[in-house]
């Protein structure tokens, strides 16, 4: 009898335990099904939901935060990581979008510019900055006048006019000439303020220039509330605030150019590479990109090499190497173009600017073993075609120049197969041929070429 009782109790415990497991499993199954149902419901609804961080504020919201793209052909051939900052994805197609936006925003913060007042932005440029200013000006409520040499690519002129900018093409001239395109843009901004908009007559004898706090930035106002010694910003003067102004941005001397890269381009690249980069390669037109980005990298890691890619005809090579801003091809009677004797547009210069001054200390330092490489026009043309054929990248002059310098840097430093990381800037400018034969084999040979290492 005791055995029967024991058997019954054991069966009862076993049945109870089994039921407990079954109920627990069923409950867990129902909870899991309910959770999956919610996820499926969310997944179904997700396409019609919009998060605030997915909606950008107009075209200016597209500027910056560009990705890094690996240049597969060159990276694989050399055994390094050559990464390009894809600035061609900015709405204006170049890194100059950052500069134009920063210059305009800084002017607005200082009360020098007010949107939707009929104000006009003037700039002297060979093209890329003009396209950026024309794009952003319309988006912010301004008009734009771009003054440029008449030997720039026709595609740039057409693009500017399509963007609604007024374009004036002038004879190429030295910076000391009043008719040089940058000087003419400055003069045009001054004259804009002297024009009496109400009756079309010129107001003579009274300065309409405003005090900007910068010797290079020029702002003039059409307001009658002006002072002979210069007019200060007055947030209480509604007449002064509402009248159109002429604004000369002056990308060459404006420190906003430097700041745009020190606070934007540099930190972006640092985050994207997790701080693991060995060199930064860039050309210089105004000097803002290499100065701002390079100074940021040096502040984070002084061992990062900052390399200037300089095209033929530019004086920066000799300025960095020998302290003299001169190039032998600039001799009288030898040049094809007045500004810089090269088919490459957008980089290279034969005068000092405030932004280049900021760049010189981080490039010309023998203790850091920086290297500056001369890039020939033939190499730039060959690189642009090589990238199309090997990587499907349609890039222009400064990008090709930068990438040639990347290849030369790898060989010069003996970095082949080192997996070192080199970052450069990629824009989308037009590259004219000027009768130079296209030979992509130049780049194939350059990638294989053995160059001596640093002393």
CA torsion sign for 118, 124, 130, 132 is: negative
Using the predicted structure, report yes or no on whether residue 176 has a pLDDT greater than 60. Answer: yes
0.85 exceeded by the pTM?
no
Percent of the chain with pLDDT over 90: 45
pLDDT at 339: 45
pLDDT at 75: 96
pLDDT tier at 380 (50, 70, 90 boundaries)?
Answer: confident
**Mean pLDDT on 268-286:** 94
The top-scoring range by mean pLDDT among 191-195, 275-279, 353-357 is 275-279
Q: Tell me the CA distances in angstroms from 217 to 130, 296, 312, 353, one per residue in order.
A: 16, 24, 30, 13
pLDDT tier at 338 (50, 70, 90 boundaries)?
Answer: very low
Q: CA–CA separation, 142 vs 308, rounded Å?
A: 35
What lies within 8 Å, CB to CB, of 62 at 6+ separation is: 56, 90, 91
* N-terminal to C-terminal alpha carbon distance within the chain: 102
pLDDT tier at 56 (50, 70, 90 boundaries)?
Answer: confident
β-bridge partners, 84: 69, 424
Summarised one tens digit per residue, pLDDT across range 392-441 is 998 877 788 889 889 989 998 999 999 999 999 998 754 444 444 555 66
Q: CB 262: neighbour CB atoms within 10 A?
A: 21
Half-sphere exposure of 192 (CA within 13 A, CB side): 25
Q: Are 397 and 384 in contact (CB under 8 A)?
A: yes
Summarised one tens digit per residue, pLDDT across range 347-358 is 657 778 899 899
**Mean pLDDT on 440-452:** 61
Q: CA–CA separation, 317 vs 356, rounded Å?
A: 12
Using the predicted structure, report yes or no on whether residue 119 has a pLDDT greater than 90. Answer: yes
Q: Tell me the CA distances in angstroms from 289 to 203, 284, 344, 393, 404, one per residue in order.
A: 40, 7, 17, 22, 18
pLDDT at 19: 57
pLDDT at 161: 95
**Which has the minimum average pLDDT: 197-201, 314-318, 375-379, 383-387?**
197-201
Percent of the chain with pLDDT over 70: 71
What lies within 8 Å, CB to CB, of 90 at 6+ separation is: 62, 63, 64, 66, 97, 98, 132
SS3 assignment for 172-229: CCCCCCCCCHHHHHHHHHHHHHHECCCCCCECCCCCCEECCCCCCCEEEECCCCCCCC
pLDDT at 24: 65
**Mean pLDDT on 20-30:** 62
pLDDT at 224: 86
Tell me the pLDDT of the chain averaged across its residues: 80
């Amino acid at each position: 009898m005791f055995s029967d009782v024991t058997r019954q109790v054991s069966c009862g415990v076993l049945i109870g335990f089994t039921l407990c497991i079954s109920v627990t499993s069923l409950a867990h199954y129902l909870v899991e099904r309910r959770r999956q149902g919610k996820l499926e419901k969310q997944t179904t609804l997700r396409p019609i939901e919009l998060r605030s961080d997915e909606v950008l504020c107009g075209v200016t919201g597209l500027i910056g935060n560009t990705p890094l793209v690996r240049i597969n052909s060159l990276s694989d051939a050399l055994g390094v990581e050559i990464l390009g900052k894809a600035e061609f994805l900015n709405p204006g197609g170049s890194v100059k979008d950052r500069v134009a936006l920063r210059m305009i925003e800084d002017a607005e913060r200082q009360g020098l510019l007010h949107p939707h007042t009929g104000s006009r932005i003037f700039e002297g440029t060979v093209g890329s900055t003009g396209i950026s200013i024309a794009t952003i000006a319309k988006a912010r409520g301004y008009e734009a006048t771009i003054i440029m040499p008449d030997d720039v690519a026709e595609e740039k002129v057409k693009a500017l006019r399509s963007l609604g900018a007024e374009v004036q093409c002038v004879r190429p001239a030295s910076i000391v000439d009043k008719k040089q395109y940058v000087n003419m843009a400055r003069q045009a901004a001054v004259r804009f303020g002297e024009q009496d908009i109400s009756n079309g007559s010129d107001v003579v004898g009274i300065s309409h220039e405003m005090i900007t706090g910068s010797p290079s930035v020029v702002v003039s106002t059409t307001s009658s509330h002006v002072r002979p010694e210069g007019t200060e910003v007055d947030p209480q003067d509604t007449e002064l605030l509402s009248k159109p102004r002429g604004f000369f941005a002056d990308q060459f001397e404006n420190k906003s150019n430097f700041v745009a890269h020190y606070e934007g381009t540099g930190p972006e690249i640092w985050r994207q590479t997790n701080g693991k980069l060995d060199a930064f390669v860039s050309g210089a037109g105004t000097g803002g990109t290499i100065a701002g980005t390079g100074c940021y990298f040096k502040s984070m890691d002084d061992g990062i090499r900052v390399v200037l890619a300089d095209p033929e005809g530019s004086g920066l090579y000799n300025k960095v190497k020998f302290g003299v801003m001169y190039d032998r091809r600039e001799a009288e009677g030898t040049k094809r173009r007045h500004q810089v004797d090269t088919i490459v547009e957008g980089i290279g210069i034969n005068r000092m600017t405030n932004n280049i001054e900021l760049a010189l200390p981080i490039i010309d330092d023998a203790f850091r073993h920086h290297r500056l490489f001369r890039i020939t026009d033939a190499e730039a043309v060959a690189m642009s075609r090589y990238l199309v054929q090997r990587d499907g990248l349609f890039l222009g002059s400064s990008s090709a120049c930068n990438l040639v310098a990347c290849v030369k840097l790898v060989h010069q430093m003996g970095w082949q197969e080192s997996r070192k990381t080199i970052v450069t800037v990629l824009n989308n400018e037009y590259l004219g041929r000027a009768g130079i034969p296209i030979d992509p084999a130049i780049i194939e040979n350059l990638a294989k070429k053995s160059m001596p290492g640093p002393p």
